Amino acid sequence: MRGRLITIEGLDGAGKTTLCQGLAAALPGARLLREPGGVELSERIRELVKDPSLDVDARAEALLYAAARAQLVASLVRPLLDGGTTVLLDRFVDSSLAYQGAGRGLGVDAVRAINDFGTGGLVPDVTLLMRIDPAAGRARQADRGEEPDRLEREDGAFFDAIARAYDELAAAEPQRFRVLDASAKPDEVLAAALEAVGA
């Protein structure tokens, strides 16, 4: 039987990484991967897109994320799913629709088209959206005390547009999306996520 593709989405600072680690521990046999990354080419692209010293045009940015995704899907995600493994993916196409489509203003349809090309039309079975108020997400990020990367340096309007886009994507596909309250305690978020994936 084909494995299930479960994606985890949300704004920076929503707590995706903690949820992903909790899910991976609770779902033995599932493989946790992150985007951009997971394979050598995509990890190198990750360094490029995060580098604050680089000037990256919005279209180039969308293509870089799509290229990282295409390689990850071809090298790992599809073979794992075909072999029956459940894949937990920390961000996927919806991140590009929200960040590049809405945040950068490229348009969701244009960004969806390049990603359909890149992934061969792969669609997650379940998408968990960690929903958080953009200001709260930024505050959590600031509390971490890390240097902000290239995208994290954007202003509030950028993240407000991304949050709105995520809500619209979830409303448009209620059968695929499960919306989680990211302001809840981590163990409550994990319990809600496990219920949502039927574990």
Which positions touch ligand TMP (CB under 6 A)?
12, 34-36, 65, 91, 95-96, 99-100, 151-152
Distances (CA, A) of 42 to 48, 49, 71, 119, 195: 10, 10, 7, 14, 31
**Considering beta carbons, is residue 77 or 151 the nearer one to ligand TMP?**
151
Question: What is the CB neighbour count within 10 angstroms for residue 109?
Answer: 9
Location of structure tokens 């709105």: 164
Which residue, 35 or 127, is less far from ligand TMP as judged by CB? 35
Q: Which residue is nearest to ligand TMP (CB)?
A: 99
Of 36 and 124, which has the nearer Cβ to ligand TMP?
Answer: 36
CA-wise closest residue to 92 among 37, 35, 38, 149: 35
Q: CA 7 to CA 115: how far, in whole Å?
A: 15
Nearer to ligand TMP, 4 or 69 (CB): 69
Two structure tokens written together for 10:
């949300």
CB of 186 to ligand TMP, least distance (A): 17
To the nearest whole angstrom, how small is the minimum distance from the Cβ of residue 169 to ligand TMP? 13
- Give min distance, CB of 118 to ligand TMP, in A: 10
